[in-house]
Structures are given as structure tokens and as C-alpha cells.
Amino acid sequence: MGTRFFYCETTNEIFSNYEDYFHRVMLISSIVWSCSITGKPNLTYAEALESEKQARRLLRTFPAAVKGPFLMVASKTKRSSFNEMLEDVFGFIKDHFFEQEIVDAMEPSGRKYREATIVEVIAPNTKSSPVKAEKIRYRVQSDDGNKPKEWTVLAENLKRDRSATTRDKCKLFLKQHVEQVAGVLKIKEASFKKFVTDEKLKEQQVFFGKPPDFEQSKRLKQAEEKKNRLEQEKKNP
């Protein structure tokens, strides 16, 4: 008589004895699962797996040229709330474009958009304040065989693919790279190293003029004020 095996279709596992198989099936069906990528709770095992697959597919479509700048911008925020941090970064990213990003650029004639790659970002030379997004120009290059091959445009004549950096996609990307340190949301060191340091991305390539001064979360501001007040009381008892 041949050896009997028990197959768990949900996990794609094979068991040589029924007891182990039974315990695995009961474990899967009795526990409430969550998606390890999105954090979505109250799922069945199968739903959690499907959620993770969909999230991974979505993350693979996040523009490579935006990842480093996105995390650099996030590293400048002063937030304790994830949603506040997301809004700060999303607000900056949607108005700015970055080197090596693939975009649709209006050709010089103004007749149509052409797919092109940003090869240079040109901004007014100032250090006193952040340069407004509408003042930045972008040198783009197209390989579609039409002329001109290169030209310069303002941000108003550039556009991303509508699905490239949606709020939901930015939220999912940010969620993978943020952690809380002493109540403050920070970009993970490993993430910053991979997408910023190792890519030799400089602040001058993302921020023009003075870097943006993002608003501090109310809770952090109150904690900071309390700390300063206590320090003053110690100095002047």
C-alpha cells in the first residue's frame, strides 16, 4: 500500500500525516490574519495572501526615479502622524519632477505631448528661500524618433502617467520605509541608504534654494515646548 499524503491547497503544503495537516487547516481557518504590506486587518488567510500579492504588484509600478527623492523629502518632515507625513510628501512630489523620470512633455510647438526622460533640472540660483515649483525648468530628451530630440519645458507642460504616483500608491510606498523613533516618524536607515545614499542622491537634486520647512505635528510641538520650559525652570529655579 502506497504512502498517503495530505495536501493543503491554501498554503500549497503537503503533509505525511493527517494530524499535522488537520492542525494546519484549523490554524488557517481559525485565526484572523492581516496583510503584512498594507496592514489591512481582519482577513482570512487567502485574503491576506491576495492582498500582499496586489500590494507587491502596485509597489513594482512606483517610478524608480521618484523613490529616492520621495524618501529624502519624507526625511525632512516633522510628524508623529503617518497621514500628516504622507500629505507633506505627497504635496511636494505632485508639484515636482526629478532627473531620469519618464514623463509626457509638451513639445516646443505646443501641439502635442511626447514621452520623454528628464535629463536636467534647471532652477533659479537662490539660497534664501525654497524655489517655487512653477519657476523650475526641465530639460527633457525623447527617443521617439521625432524632432527636436531635446528641449526645455516648465512644470506646467509636464505630466506623469496618471497612475504613477497616486496618493494610495505613495501611501503604500511610504509605509514600507517609515518607523517611529521617540514618537517621531523617521525613514528607516536601511531604506535611506538604499535609495538615497547608495544612489548618491544629493539635496541639491531635490530641493532648490532653501529646503522646505514642513509644519511640525501639534503633539510634537507641545512636547518640545514642555521640554524647553522644564529646562528653563532648571536653569532658573
Is the sign of the CA dihedral 127, 131, 137, 143 positive or negative?
positive
Looking at residue 103, what is its pLDDT?
Answer: 98
Run means of pLDDT, 10 residues per run, the chain, 237 residues: 76 84 78 89 89 95 98 97 97 96 96 97 87 95 96 96 95 97 96 98 92 89 71 68
pLDDT for 18 equals 83
Which pLDDT score, from 0 to 100, does residue 1 have?
Answer: 54
Whether omega for the bond prior to residue 124 falls within 30 degrees of 0, making it cis, is: no
- Residue 37, pLDDT score: 94
The pLDDT of residue 186 is: 98
C-alpha cell of residue 187: 525613514
Q: What is the pLDDT of residue 230?
A: 67
pLDDT at 2: 65
Only one residue has cell 517621531, namely: 184
Domains of the chain: 6-60 (no CATH), 64-223 (2.30.30.140)
Check residue 237 and give its pLDDT.
Answer: 64
Output the nine-digit C-alpha cell for 20.
499535522
CA atoms of 159 and 154, how far apart (whole Å): 11
State the pLDDT at residue 150: 98
Give, as one character, the DSSP assignment of residue 134.
G
User: C-alpha grid cell for residue 233?
Assistant: 525652570
Say whether 72 sits in a helix, a strand or coil: helix
The answer to whether the CB of 124 falls within 8 A of the CB of 131 is yes
Other Cβ atoms less than 10 A from the Cβ of 14: the count is 10
Task: Determine the pLDDT at residue 125.
Answer: 86
